[in-house]
Amino acid sequence: MNIYTNLRGWCGGISRGYKTNSGFGFKSNEPTVRTSKHQTKEALFNMGGGRRRSNKNNEEATDATQKLPSFNKNYVQFTDAVKHFSTVDVVDGLMERVRGEIGGKTLPTSIQSLAMMTLLGDAHGKQGKQGKQTLLAAETGSGKTYAFLIPMIDALKRSEVGAAPAHKAIRKPRALIMAPTRELCRQLTGQVKALTHICKLKSTYVWSAGEYQDENKDKLEKCNDDVLIGSPEQLNKLHEKGVSFDGVEWVVLDEADALFDDDFVDSTEKLVRMVEKARVDGNLSDNRSGNLNLNLVMSTATVNEKFSSYLHTHYPRINRLVSPKTHTLPRALKLSYAPYHSGNKLADLRGVVNDLISGSGKSSNSSKQAKTLVFVNTNERAEKVAKYFNEKGTPAVSMTSASQGRSRVSNRPIRPFLRGGVDISSSSGGSNGSGDNSNNISPASANTLVTTSLLARGLDFGTHVQNVVIAEESGSAVDFIHRAGRTGRAGAQGHVTVMVPLKKYQHLSRRGR
């Protein structure tokens, strides 16, 4: 079977329409998302803003109507794609841990197959030892994290052997992983630790460069961690405090499109350029070819035109590996609309959430009670919704960029909603386990987490998070895809409900007939 990384599928869009019984009295004509190219664009446009904006979201708000980029010129074709993890030749202990995390019989997803074909090739010397620039683009929940972690961990372990007998002289850190939120950084750190448990690499989340410095006073210049995970800003600060990055062999940008948006682009670029310079200054690049021997991997579920043209300009030789379903919603996801109809939006929203909770019950593959994520657009709104829910007897917690729980170093405030695995919490970070919530509801007892797009990026929520309710219009089609993609991950069932004004709902219903 051939797998093509260029995509007609870029515009495959949202490919299923489902009717649901969400029980708010509008069952008969619930509008659903359609399949044709035109309707797909329209659906994304409906969900992603529906009108042009004059604020900084302008570009994103309108990108749903733009032609999504195709990579016809850059495609890579494989005739022998990786079909089983068991056939992958990686260092001892790594695949054992992968199987331990996702099950022994699980097959690689298409993006994992593509990544292993190209990135593992480097590690095994099949394609030379040259560093590469690689973009991994695939739908939400398709396993992009392992797609870059497996080759990265394998390469780091192999280069240790290659460096023997001067093993001890290996310069650390050897890999930097960047992500846009603390929550995602923590989860990534847990995933790195889980996969390196047997083959042994040391990893740390740098949530504060200052704190890292305090904890590593004596050895700051001789960093002990193989892998550092953090925001571009904190990693830059760490470098300024004296940690040398000249031994870095891998730089991974998770949620790369977000790391190159206006908020992060300067610090992301600064870090990448600084690592490149450190390679040259440390004589670790190949002087003759100018090759830096540095692997730069960018991972994302969405590539809008702005990001695509940024890559064309700044990373012209990047190898774009694209799953055939990029820019589509996960297969097992059901999507429906619900109206604000009573004049009391909070009551309407709570009615929808209650119906979803009572309808979904226990998740099919876990004993955990099914949970719901509610997305709104502002911190204040998130707190208000959680407060209202609690007052009315629907236990809910909120988590926003302003939540007190965020300043601590554990993901515990949202832990009951995340997928299981290693939780990292440093000694200095005492958390009482509660997020911000109005009535001291413990996250474990809440079935609903109200949040903003802060938690829409990259976080791997558990299969027991079966419902996502988009209570306020997403800022863009890109944002919609990320919000919706917090459920229905890795083939699990998920249901996305988009709340719309009654008029819009009626309009959509008429067209859905």
Ligand X SMILES: Nc1ncnc2c1ncn2[C@@H]1O[C@H](COP(=O)(O)OP(=O)(O)OP(=O)(O)O)[C@@H](O)[C@H]1O
Q: Measured from the CB of residue 339, what is the shortest distance to ligand X in angstroms?
A: 28
Q: Which of 5, 32, 142, 189 contacts ligand X by CB under 6 A?
A: 142
327 part of the interface to ligand X, by CB under 6 A: no
CB of 452 to ligand X, least distance (A): 16
Q: Contact between 332 and ligand X (CB under 6 A)?
A: no
Least separation, in Å, of the C-beta of 89 and ligand X?
17
Q: Number of helices (H) and strands (E), helices first, in the chain?
A: 15, 15
Kindly calculate the radius of gyration of the chain based on its CA atoms and give it in whole angstroms. Answer: 23
How many other C-beta atoms are found inside a 10 Å radius of the C-beta of residue 310? 17
Tokens of 373: 């994520």
Q: CB-wise, 284 or 332, nearer to ligand X?
A: 332
Q: Which of 68, 301, 322, 352 forms a contact with ligand X (CB under 6 A)?
A: 301
The window from 126-134, 138-146, 174-182, 496-504 that contacts ligand X (CB under 6 A) reads 138-146
Q: Which of 32, 133, 145, 466 binds ligand X (CB under 6 A)?
A: 145
Minimum distance from residue 11 beta carbon to ligand X (Å): 19
CA distance 129 to 116: 15
x/- binding map, residues 46-85, to ligand X, per CB under 6 A? ----------------------------------------
Tokens of 420: 């299981």
Q: Is 252 helix (H, G, I), strand (E, B) or coil?
A: strand
Total residues binding ligand X (CB under 6 A): 21
Residue type, 273: R
The answer for residues whose C-beta is within 8 angstroms of residue 54's C-beta and 6 or more apart is none
Q: Looking only at residues 481 through 510 of this chain, which bind ligand X when binding is defined by CB under 6 A?
A: 485, 489-490
Shortest approach of ligand X to residue 152 CB, angstroms?
13
Total residue length of the chain = 513
User: Cα separation of 398 and 222, whole Å?
Assistant: 40
Q: Could you say which residues in the range 415-434 bind ligand X, by CB under 6 A? A: 419
Does 146 sit near ligand X (CB under 6 A)? yes
**How many other β-carbons are positioned within 10 Å of the β-carbon of residue 429?**
15
**In terms of C-beta density within 10 A (0-12 exposed, 13-18 middle, 19 or more buried), how is residue 281 classed?**
exposed
b/e burial code for range 25-36 (CB count within 10 A of at least 16 → b): ebeeebbbbbee
3-state class (DSSP) for residue 481: helix
Which of 20, 22, 40, 109 lies at the binding interface for ligand X (CB under 6 A)? Answer: 109
Choose which of 59, 96, 101, 233 interacts with ligand X (CB under 6 A).
101
Cα distances from 112 to residues 143, 189, 194, 245, 382, in angstroms, run 7, 19, 18, 28, 35
Task: Kindly tell me which residue out of 131, 180, 405, 458 binds ligand X, with binding defined by CB under 6 A.
Answer: 458
304 is a contact residue toward ligand X (CB under 6 A): no
Among positions 5, 118, 134, 140, the unique one binding ligand X when judged by CB under 6 A: 140
> Is position 108 an interface residue for ligand X (rule: CB under 6 A)?
yes
Interaction between residue 460 and ligand X (CB under 6 A):
yes
Bridge partners (DSSP) of residue 467 are 372, 495
Interface segment toward ligand X; rule CB under 6 A; list 140-148, 162-170, 288-296, 402-410: 140-148
Task: Say whether residue 134 binds ligand X (CB under 6 A).
Answer: no
In 3D, which of 303, 306, 325, 301 has the Cα closest to residue 14? 325
Stretch that binds ligand X, among 107-115, 232-240, 264-272, 364-372 (CB under 6 A): 107-115
What is the DSSP secondary-structure string of 265-285? HHHHHHHHHHHHHHHHHTT-S
H-state helical runs in 164-264 = 182-195, 209-215, 232-240, 256-259
390 touches ligand X by CB under 6 A:
no
Q: Smallest distance from the beta carbon of 23 to ligand X, in angstroms?
A: 29
**Binding residue for ligand X (CB under 6 A) from 48, 143, 405, 494?**
143
In the numeric block, the tokens 């004049």 are attached to: 343
Give least dist CB 143 to ligand X, A: 3
> From the CB of 243, what's the least distance to ligand X, in Å?
27
Q: Which residues fall within 8 angstroms of residue 433, CB to CB, at 6 or more apart?
A: 412, 413, 415, 442, 443, 444
Query: Which range of residues in 120-128, 142-150, 197-205, 374-382 is near ligand X by CB under 6 A?
Result: 142-150
Which helix H or strand E contains 503, and what residues bound it?
helix 502-512
Q: Does 330 bind ligand X (CB under 6 A)?
A: no
Report d(CA 170, CA 73) in Å as an integer: 39
What's the closest the beta carbon of residue 145 comes to ligand X, in angstroms? 3
Q: Crossing angle for the helix pair 144-163 and 182-195, nearest 10 degrees?
A: 50
Does residue 406 belong to the site contacting ligand X (CB under 6 A)? Answer: no
Q: Which residues are at the interface with ligand X (CB under 6 A)?
A: 101-102, 106, 108-109, 112, 138, 140-146, 301, 419, 458, 460, 485, 489-490
